[in-house]
């Protein structure tokens, strides 16, 4: 095996604003693993709020390049690198190689049935008026995810609902609320038919949810990075956002999805932003998911060829030339 990598810069079409950051462009790490069967590739953006960057992930990968070149497989990788973006990129490159050798698609290797799937479209955090305009401008998107913070979330939710009475709505607070604010918002969440609230409280404040009777399901994102944290969120959340960058690849993501189902937790498949390559890597998880949020390429000015095709909020299976 021969291990190489590239760091790729992607400009966004508009600022991506959440309760914790404002993003204008992203840098992804792509790992290439080459052997006699061809070259496999895997992309990762990394978990930025844990300090991961394309550069730091590349150092992690090069730190284990001797083991990779010696032929470490996907199971061996689980103990070679910790959960995170570096392991994700390597794991997905191994999947790509494995599928090339077997002449099968990744979902066939994973034992799941593929089909086009509806994805949420994210509305960036902005004023109530601006978010309502964006919601109306994307009238062909049937499901929207609202990025909200502690600044007038009820007003912004009401404005979006008025602009899109037909849409399915999910809220992502990125840990920007307090338990008091969440309690105050419960009537509005019900009145405006919100399907799910993602990460309402900061990571580490999850114990505040113990006595909450919430009529809307809650989803752990930052509070559940990987399978080792499921015990910490069980009983407090009803769903888990599985991102390959957090859990460390498709191998770990599939195991986590099955573990969630065994525990009675719904699965939300998400992304940290990224190109069609990153979304293709997560696609085999979608049969496990109640909610899918794989709209990253729709935010980018450029993409891989062939890109994933999106039809009015429906994500189609990735073409063979893209990945696995």
Active-site residues, by number, are 147, 243
Distance, CA of 251 to CA of 246 (rounded, Å): 12
The candidate with the shortest Cα–Cα distance to 45, out of 249, 269, 278, is 278
> Considering just the CA atoms, what is the radius of gyration of the chain in Å?
19
Distance, CA of 119 to CA of 241 (rounded, Å): 14
279: left (phi over 0), alpha (psi -120 to 50) or beta: alpha
On whether the CB atoms of residues 89 and 68 are closer than 8 A, the answer is no
The candidate with the shortest Cα–Cα distance to 28, out of 92, 86, 93, is 86
Partnered with residue 83 across adjacent β-strands are none
Distance, CA of 222 to CA of 316 (rounded, Å): 27
- Those residues whose C-beta lies under 8 Å from the C-beta of residue 191, and which sit 6 or more positions away, are none
Distance, CA of 251 to CA of 284 (rounded, Å): 10
Partnered with residue 314 across adjacent β-strands are 118, 311
Per-residue b/e over 298-324, b at no fewer than 16 CB within 10 Å?
A: bbbeebbeebbebeebebebbeeebbb
On whether the CB atoms of residues 175 and 21 are closer than 8 A, the answer is no
Partnered with residue 118 across adjacent β-strands are 314
């Amino acid at each position: 095996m021969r291990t190489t990598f590239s760091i790729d810069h992607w400009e966004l079409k508009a600022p991506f604003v959440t309760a914790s950051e404002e993003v204008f462009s992203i840098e992804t790490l792509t790992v290439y693993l080459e052997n006699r069967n061809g070259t496999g590739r895997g992309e990762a953006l990394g978990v930025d709020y844990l300090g991961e960057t394309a550069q730091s992930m590349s150092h992690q990968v090069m730190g284990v390049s001797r083991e990779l070149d010696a032929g470490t497989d996907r199971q061996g990788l689980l103990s070679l690198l910790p959960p995170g973006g570096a392991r994700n990129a390597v794991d997905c490159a191994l999947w790509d190689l494995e599928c090339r050798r077997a002449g099968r698609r990744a979902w066939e290797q994973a034992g799941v049935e593929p089909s086009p799937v509806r994805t949420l479209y994210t509305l960036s955090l902005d004023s109530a008026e601006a978010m309502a305009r964006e919601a109306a401008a994307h009238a062909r998107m049937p499901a929207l995810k609202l990025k909200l913070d502690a600044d007038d979330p009820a007003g912004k939710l009401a404005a979006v609902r008025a602009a899109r009475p037909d849409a399915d709505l999910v809220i992502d607070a990125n840990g920007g609320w307090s338990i008091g604010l969440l309690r105050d918002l419960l009537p509005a969440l019900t009145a405006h038919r919100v399907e799910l609230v993602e990460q309402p409280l900061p990571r580490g404040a999850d114990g505040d949810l113990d006595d909450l009777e919430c009529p809307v399901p809650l989803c752990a994102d930052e509070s559940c990075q990987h399978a080792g944290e499921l015990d910490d969120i069980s009983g407090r959340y009803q769903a888990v956002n599985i991102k390959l960058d957090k859990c460390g690849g498709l191998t770990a993501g599939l195991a986590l999805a099955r573990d969630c189902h065994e525990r009675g937790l719904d699965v939300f498949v998400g992304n940290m932003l990224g190109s069609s390559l990153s979304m293709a890597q997560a696609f085999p998880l979608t049969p496990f998911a109640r909610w899918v949020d794989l709209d990253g390429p729709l935010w980018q000015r450029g993409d891989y060829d062939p890109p994933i095709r999106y039809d009015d909020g429906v994500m189609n299976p990735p073409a063979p030339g893209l990945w696995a």
